[in-house]
């Protein structure tokens, strides 16, 4: 590098940031290690720092008044300096250079423009700029915003410049100790209509999708917020994503973690922490192209991948063993003429747009006609969904990486031959003569079906009457008005006949009995065609009645997630109230972790998988579902395990919904299970999402230890499981909590992190507990963990030996009496 003069370094400063600060860098005033460059408003600061446990020195930019140090940009991320000898200088052409004590240039800026009077300043936006004093201050020769690291700040552009070829993208740090470019990169791609991809080790890992005017179609729709406004610009010169703050006094950033999780954060002055607004908590369907071509990925479904209508698996054998990579193919070839039509799919992540074309001015009908005229066109959709929709986006070649979203997404029209359409789909496009033909056909079918149904009804009534007269069963057929309530709700619950369930469970035989709980008994059932069921039968002695039954039916019918048990239907006939679920062959979690033999089947990898699955299910209930649901009875016996030991939350009889912005509620009826209920719920009847967080913390510690919180006793200190875990944590012996069945086969750091998360979840005060989205990030090392305080129900004392005479006078202690309150279930 020419024209640089390096002054000798006399003092080496490694970890101490001095108060010496500059407002600009010039040829005569370079920036040395130990000095900082401060923005005019004191928002950002630039200087030398050492990340994490590293001794290396890097030149970076961070928020000036936020602790701990929050670095948003690093200059020499690939070339650290081993000591405090670094100097940042500028030459007479306006080029920055970072040099060490040997006068070696470890990093430099570059620009084709030569400045006559260069000056380097740090703006309050966090942008380091080089300008020429001869021109306007807004005339930048070079800016750090063009070279992002792992952080996107307001005003930064993520995308490319079509004129200069500049491509701005995010790349993660390698680790908290190393800001070098990691294996995760987030960038826009130019092929077809621009879309956002996340690459991992240079392979597509996740596709956020194309911009539809409001959001990227691969993300669930975000609620309007008072913090920021996002936009996507695409013209002849540029294509980029950018966001700006609604309130400039708020600090906000988007950061990509070393493991690839993208988080949008906002600084909370009140709590002194970075709060997560949103995070791309990927599920299985976010793996790019998981289901292959012409298929739809639905994470809430028990079978994740589904061929689109009119398509079949390319390789049936592979498909049946959950290898969906081969995708699907058409059952019938396209006619490639005006007889072809389109099937509409709602609320999906649009397929990969790499092979797409677009037109910003076409209407949706013009888009349809354009696609129909081109035999290679496979689908079409609106380019922009604002104001009723506008523009045209059409696909050619295979449709890849589609996902069914619980919220958001977009409508797409997929081309199919007319022979594959249903009657009501076909008649939208057929001519008048064909419409008449369909009308006649449908009319004939309707009349015939009506006759068949009438005959079937008469036969069925006769059989019911005969069954009543025979006296072979004590259960009589009678419809309950509750059915009307269920049908009035917007559900698709299947109503089973009692006779079908009686036959399926062998008349509720003890041989078929799977278990028993507060609701009643659970039986295994098998329908005539071989489908296995789990039938929950309400006991006449249960504290749960018809209202709890209706609550569970209506609530869980509206909830669909991979980590929630699937309700297949219900049955209400006179005395009987039955819930019919998918059958879980491995039964409940408590039958594994608390069993001396079966606990050995759950190694640490399986347990950690179960912990994460429960957490994701709760994130869905608390945040991502249409309703905000508080479970209120979360415990190990209500966590069911499928064939692959995937956890599924069950038993929603006590669950409650919160509406709108409501975050908590109160009840006079305390119902639940002792050992899992939060203190504010037990004492005052207050429940919120933090009540479920407490229960989750108890379950997490039980999974790790293999011990029940309820009934656990630390003989030395008379502690419950929470107190015992806290004492071990405080004394630096957390690993002693581990279940002995695990032996030495576990990751110590992962276990310790899980114990810390568990203790954070069981804090006495609800506000001290994290929410479940933060818990998921904590479990996977994506969020710094605060130190836990003393957990709830913590009493550490030596209890003196009891006086035998006092026992005679007072046989029941107050503690024993209070515990009996919680034996309701």
Q: What is the mean pLDDT of residues 68-81?
A: 96
In sign, the C-alpha dihedral spanning 538, 541, 547, 551 is negative
Report the percentage of the chain scoring pLDDT > 90. 46
Do 573 and 588 have their domain in common?
A: no
Identify whether 269 is part of a domain: no
Identify whether 382 is part of a domain: yes
Do 478 and 566 have their domain in common?
A: yes
Do 543 and 637 have their domain in common?
A: no
577's tokens: 């109230």
Above 60 in pLDDT, residue 2? no
Query: Could you give the residue numbers annotated as active site?
Result: 633
| pLDDT at 59 (0 to 100) | 97
CA distance 61 to 421: 59
Above 80 in pLDDT, residue 677? yes
| pLDDT at 478 (0 to 100) | 35
Do 813 and 693 have their domain in common?
A: yes
In sign, the C-alpha dihedral spanning 673, 590, 635, 547 is negative
Instruction: Establish whether 690 is an annotated binding residue.
Output: no
Which position has the higher pLDDT, 374 or 421? 374
Which position has the higher pLDDT, 478 or 700? 700
Domain count, the chain: 5
408's tokens: 């958001």
Contacts of 631 (CB under 8 A, 6+ apart): 618, 621, 649, 652, 654, 655, 692, 695
CA distance 100 to 424: 74
Question: Hey, what long-range contacts does 712-720 have (CB within 8 A, 24 or more apart)?
Answer: 717/796, 717/797, 717/798, 718/795, 718/796, 718/797, 718/798, 718/799, 719/794, 719/795, 719/796, 720/793
429-482 residue pLDDT tens: 444 445 545 555 555 666 566 656 665 665 555 554 443 443 333 333 334 444
Above 70 in pLDDT, residue 700? yes
Do 595 and 619 have their domain in common?
A: yes
Most confident of 240-254, 273-287, 555-569, 735-749: 240-254
Domain end call among 147, 170, 191? 147
Do 545 and 684 have their domain in common?
A: no
Identify whether 449 is part of a domain: yes
Above 50 in pLDDT, residue 12? no
| pLDDT at 569 (0 to 100) | 86
Do 556 and 590 have their domain in common?
A: no
| pLDDT at 754 (0 to 100) | 95
Identify whether 163 is part of a domain: no
Identify whether 482 is part of a domain: yes
DSSP structural state of residue 7: P
Above 80 in pLDDT, residue 134? no
Determine the Cα angle at 546 with ends 545 and 549, to 5°.
90
For the chain, the C-alpha Rg in angstroms (whole number) is 32
Compute how many other C-beta atoms are within 10 angstroms of the C-beta atom of residue 583.
Answer: 19
Identify whether 175 is part of a domain: no
Q: What is the rounded average pLDDT for all residues in the chain? A: 81
pLDDT-derived band at 714 (thresholds 50, 70, 90) equals low
Do 773 and 662 have their domain in common?
A: yes
173-201 residue pLDDT tens: 999 899 999 999 999 998 899 999 999 98
Identify whether 217 is part of a domain: no
Do 415 and 442 have their domain in common?
A: no
The domain that contains 142 carries what CATH number?
A: 2.90.10.10
> Quick check: bond before 506 cis, omega within 30?
no
The domain that contains 808 carries what CATH number?
A: 1.10.510.10
| pLDDT at 97 (0 to 100) | 93
Which position has the higher pLDDT, 588 or 654? 588
- The range of the structural domain enclosing residue 58 comes to 1-147
Q: What is the mean pLDDT of residues 578-593?
A: 91
Identify whether 660 is part of a domain: yes
pLDDT-derived band at 409 (thresholds 50, 70, 90) equals confident
Do 798 and 697 have their domain in common?
A: yes
- Tell me if 614 sits within 8 A of 639, measured CB to CB: yes
User: With 0-12 CB in 10 A as exposed, 13-18 as middle and 19+ as buried, what is 659?
Assistant: exposed
| pLDDT at 222 (0 to 100) | 57
Above 60 in pLDDT, residue 387? yes
| pLDDT at 703 (0 to 100) | 96
Do 525 and 646 have their domain in common?
A: no
Compute how many other C-beta atoms are within 10 angstroms of the C-beta atom of residue 500.
Answer: 16
Domain end call among 398, 426, 454? 426
| pLDDT at 28 (0 to 100) | 84
Enter the pTM of the model: 0.61
| pLDDT at 74 (0 to 100) | 98
Do 137 and 67 have their domain in common?
A: yes
């Amino acid at each position: 590098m020419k024209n640089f003069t390096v002054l000798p370094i006399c003092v080496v400063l490694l970890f101490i940031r001095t108060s010496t600060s500059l407002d600009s860098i010039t040829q005569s005033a370079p920036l040395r290690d130990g000095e900082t460059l401060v923005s005019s408003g004191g928002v950002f600061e630039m200087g030398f720092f050492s990340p994490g446990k590293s001794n290396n020195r890097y030149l970076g930019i961070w928020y000036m008044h936020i602790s701990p140090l929050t670095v948003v940009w690093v200059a020499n991320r690939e070339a650290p300096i081993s000591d405090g000898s670094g100097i940042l200088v500028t030459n007479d052409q306006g080029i920055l250079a970072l040099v060490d004590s040997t006068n070696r240039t470890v990093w430099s800026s570059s620009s084709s423009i030569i400045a006559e009077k260069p000056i380097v300043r740090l703006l309050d936006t966090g942008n380091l700029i080089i300008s020429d004093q001869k021109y306007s201050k807004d005339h930048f020769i070079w800016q750090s915003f063009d070279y992002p690291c792992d952080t996107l700040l307001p005003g930064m552009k993520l995308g490319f410049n079509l004129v200069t070829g500049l491509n701005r993208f995010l790349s993660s740090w390698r680790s908290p100790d190393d800001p070098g470019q990691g294996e995760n990169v987030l960038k826009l791609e130019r092929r077809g209509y621009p879309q956002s991809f996340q690459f991992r080790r240079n392979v597509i890992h996740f596709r956020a999708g194309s911009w539809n005017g409001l959001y990227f179609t691969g993300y669930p729709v975000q609620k309007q917020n008072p913090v920021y406004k996002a936009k996507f610009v695409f013209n002849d010169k540029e294509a980029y994503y950018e966001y700006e703050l609604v309130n400039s006094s708020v600090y906000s950033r988007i950061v990509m973690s070393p493991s690839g999780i993208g988080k949008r954060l906002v600084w909370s002055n009140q709590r002194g922490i970075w709060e997560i607004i949103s995070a791309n908590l990927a599920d299985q369907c976010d793996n790019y192209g998981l289901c292959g071509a012409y298929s739809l990925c639905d994470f809430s479904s028990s079978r994740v991948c589904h061929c689109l209508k009119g398509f079949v698996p390319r390789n049936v054998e592979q498909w049946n063993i959950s290898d969906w990579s081969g995708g699907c193919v058409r059952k019938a070839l396209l006619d490639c003429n005006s007889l072809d039509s389109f099937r509409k799919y709602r609320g999906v992540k649009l397929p990969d747009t790499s092979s797409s074309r677009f037109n910003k001015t076409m209407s949706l009908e013009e888009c349809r006609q354009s696609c129909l005229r081109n035999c290679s066109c496979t689908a079409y959709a609106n380019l922009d969904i604002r104001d009723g929709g506008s523009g045209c986006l059409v696909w050619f070649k295979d449709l890849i990486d589609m996902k069914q979203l619980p919220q958001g997404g977009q409508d797409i029209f997929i081309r199919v031959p007319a022979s594959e359409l249903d009657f009501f789909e076909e008649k939208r496009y057929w001519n008048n003569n064909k419409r008449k033909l369909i009308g006649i056909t449908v009319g004939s079918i309707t009349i015939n079906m009506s006759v068949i149904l009438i005959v079937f009804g008469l036969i069925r009534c006769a059989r019911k009457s005969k069954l009543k007269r025979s006296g072979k069963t004590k259960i009589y057929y009678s419809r309950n008005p509750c059915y009307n309530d269920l049908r009035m709700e917007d559900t698709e619950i299947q109503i089973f006949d009692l006779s079908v369930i009686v036959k399926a469970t062998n008349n509720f035989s003890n041989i078929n009995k799977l278990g028993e709980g507060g609701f009643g008994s659970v039986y295994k059932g098998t329908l005539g065609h071989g489908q296995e069921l789990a039938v929950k039968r309400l006991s006449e002695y249960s504290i749960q009645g018809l209202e709890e039954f209706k609550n569970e039916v209506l609530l869980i019918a509206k909830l669909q997630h991979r980590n929630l048990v699937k309700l297949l239907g219900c049955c209400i006939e006179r005395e009987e109230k039955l819930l019919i679920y998918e059958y879980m062959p491995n039964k409940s979690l408590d039958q594994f972790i608390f069993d001396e033999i079966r606990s050995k089947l759950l190694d640490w990898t399986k347990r950690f998988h179960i912990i994460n699955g429960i957490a994701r299910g709760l994130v869905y209930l608390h945040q991502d579902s249409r309703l905000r649901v508080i479970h209120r009875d979360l415990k190990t016996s209500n966590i069911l395990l499928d064939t692959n030991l995937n956890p599924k939350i069950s038993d929603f009889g006590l669950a409650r919904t919160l509406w709108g912005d409501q975050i908590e509620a109160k009840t006079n009826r305390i119902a639940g299970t002792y050992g899992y209920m939060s203190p504010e719920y037990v004492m005052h009847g207050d429940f919120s999402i933090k009540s479920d967080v407490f229960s989750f913390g108890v379950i997490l510690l039980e999974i790790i230890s293999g011990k029940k919180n309820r009934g656990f006793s630390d003989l030395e200190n008379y502690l419950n499981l929470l107190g015992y875990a806290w004492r071990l944590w405080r004394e630096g012996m957390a690993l002693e909590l581990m279940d002995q069945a695990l032996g030495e086969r576990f990751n110590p750091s992962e276990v310790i992190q899980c114990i810390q998360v568990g203790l954070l979840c069981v804090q006495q005060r609800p506000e001290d507990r994290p929410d479940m989205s933060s818990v998921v990030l904590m479990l996977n090392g994506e969020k710094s963990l605060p130190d836990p305080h003393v957990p709830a129900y913590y009493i550490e004392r030596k209890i003196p030996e009891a006086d035998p005479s006092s026992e005679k006078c007072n046989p029941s202690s107050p503690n024993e009496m209070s515990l009996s309150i919680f034996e309701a279930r």
